[in-house]
Amino acid sequence: MPSAEIITIGTEILLGEIVDTNTRVLARTLRGLGIDLFRTITIGDNATRIAEVIRDSMRRADIIITTGGLGPTVDDPTREAVALAVGVETEFREELWEQVKTVIGRYGRTPGENQKRQAFVPRGALAIPNPIGTAPSFIVESPLLPARGDKPGTHTNVIISLPGVPQEMEFLLRQSVIPYLQKHFDLHELIKVRVLHTSGLGEGTIDERIGDFERLENPTVGLSAHAGVVDIRITSKAENETQTDELIRHVETDIRNLLGDVIFGVDEETLEQVALDASALRGWKLAVLEAGLDNRMSRILSAVQSSNLMLVESSSLQPGELPARTRDVRKRTGASAALGVALFRSEFEQSIELHIITPEFENSRRVTYGGPPNLSPRWAANMAINWLRLAAQGKG
């Protein structure tokens, strides 16, 4: 199975000016093709440093994919960096220059001399025309630095350089790169991932219950802990999607039998969406009161499309006041259900008080928190929302 590394190029990413979304798209694409991703790297706009990173990746991986640095300006150094990494010069391609002129001409402009830079690629590269942008891409097949300890001349590294503009990158990925990789590496396996989302148990407890599955080789099972939520990732490899789905199904069924209601969703489902959908199915009109959470409940719940959420109110509360204030919010709004959560922080302890009122019952809880203080608002919100979910599903 081929291996890959992703190199994201751009000083603006290192400075936090823009967010890199390309790596996620590329990682998921490689996963779907059955290609192992070893490492992702972000580096600034310096040709020498980029070349060093590329050569380092070539010693480990079959496929190196770069994004960014293919524009027309001096600080777009990817073409030169790749050429430097494989020991060749860049060369001008007339057909790429014609494409650049055509794209710019659509906007009624004449390309400047500096934009000719985009028609240069490392000597011998396979050019990838870009019909939706001015940055042509390219593929370099280089035998110079064999990966995995192969003898010189017996192994070829593939360097694929794509634009940094997400729409252009994704288009060229689908249009040209995926077919190339499938043919060049004779790809028949694919990798599929299913993520089970849980809430209500800590990572250690879940690990104790499903530890045997974490020792499997195919599918593999891994845990990822968040504040108040733990994800269980099931990854399978097979020759086709039917086989990957079957491998995942058996393991998922067994894990669900062990964890039951702790699992609240899969893949793109969120705790807040599941909880509000469940309360909407019950016909509840919901009011929420929060205190000490830095308005996190408001931000989380207001982002969900839901017809049954009446309001999220922020307040300042003292310990013990939450039940009465939650009843007051419910009465004032005419809501059929109300959820209250208050986070209290001291030098030695962080704790939350929870209070819920539904048409069927009313109850309170107090839970202490021992994690990082900066994560306590998120943890408190997830604890409260999960309790709402269980109550709406008749399990709270």
Mean pLDDT estimate for the chain: 91
The span from the CA of 128 to the CA of 168, in Å, is 12
**Averaged pLDDT, 249-276:** 96
How buried is 328 (Cβ within 10 angstroms: 0-12 exposed, 13-18 middle, 19+ buried)?
A: middle
Strand-strand pairing, 337-345 and 63-67:
unpaired
How buried is 74 (Cβ within 10 angstroms: 0-12 exposed, 13-18 middle, 19+ buried)?
A: exposed
pLDDT value of residue 295: 93
- Residue 272, both tokens: 């807040």
Listed range (49-53, 106-110, 373-377) with the worst mean pLDDT: 106-110
pLDDT value of residue 149: 53
Query: The pTM is what?
Result: 0.73
pLDDT in tens, 331-369: 999 999 999 999 998 877 889 999 999 999 999 999 998
Residue ranges of the chain that CATH labels 3.90.950.20:
271-392
pLDDT in tens, 309-330: 998 888 899 999 999 999 999 9
pLDDT value of residue 150: 53
The span from the CA of 49 to the CA of 44, in Å, is 8
Residue 148 in this model has a pLDDT that exceeds 80: no
Query: Hey, which CATH number is domain 190-266, 1.10.10.10, 3.30.70.2860, 3.30.360.10, 2.160.10.10?
Result: 3.30.70.2860
CB atoms within 10 A of CB 133: 20
69 and 76 in contact (C-beta within 8 Å)? yes
Q: Where are the beta strands (DSSP E) in the chain?
A: 3-9, 36-43, 63-67, 90-92, 120-122, 126-128, 137-142, 157-162, 190-198, 220-225, 230-238, 263-266, 286-291, 309-315, 337-345, 350-357, 362-369
pLDDT in tens, 280-309: 999 999 999 999 999 999 999 989 988 889
**378: enclosing H helix or E strand:** helix 376-392
**Averaged pLDDT, 128-137:** 89
All residues at 6 or more sequence positions from 204 whose CB lies less than 8 Å from its CB, including other chains? none
Q: How many helices (H) and strands (E) does the chain have?
A: 13, 17
Listed range (142-146, 165-169, 235-239, 269-273) with the worst mean pLDDT: 142-146
Residue 92 in this model has a pLDDT that exceeds 60: yes
Backbone angles phi, psi at 228, to 5 degrees: 85, 0
pLDDT value of residue 195: 96
Quick one: fold of 271-392? Answer: Maf protein (3.90.950)
- Residue 370, both tokens: 């021992």
pLDDT in tens, 189-232: 788 899 999 999 999 999 999 999 999 989 999 999 998 999 99
**33: enclosing H helix or E strand:** helix 22-33
User: Where is pLDDT greater, at 134 or 25?
Assistant: 25
The span from the CA of 272 to the CA of 274, in Å, is 5
Backbone angles phi, psi at 391, to 5 degrees: -65, -45
Residue ranges of the chain that CATH labels 3.30.70.2860:
190-266
pLDDT value of residue 213: 96
pLDDT value of residue 107: 77
Residue ranges of the chain that CATH labels 3.40.980.10:
3-184
380 and 341 in contact (C-beta within 8 Å)? yes
Report the sign of the C-alpha dihedral through residues 289, 293, 294, 296, in that order: negative
Backbone angles phi, psi at 224, to 5 degrees: -140, 115
C-alpha distances in Å from residue 102, one per residue of 107, 121, 203, 209, 390: 9, 18, 55, 61, 58
pLDDT in tens, 52-77: 999 999 999 999 999 999 988 878 89
Quick one: fold of 3-184? Answer: Molybdenum Cofactor Biosythetic Enzyme; Chain A (3.40.980)
C-alpha distances in Å from residue 300, one per residue of 273, 291, 366: 9, 14, 22
Reported as a pLDDT band with limits 50, 70 and 90, residue 155 is low
| Among 180, 225, 220, 174, residue whose Cα is nearest residue 28 | 174
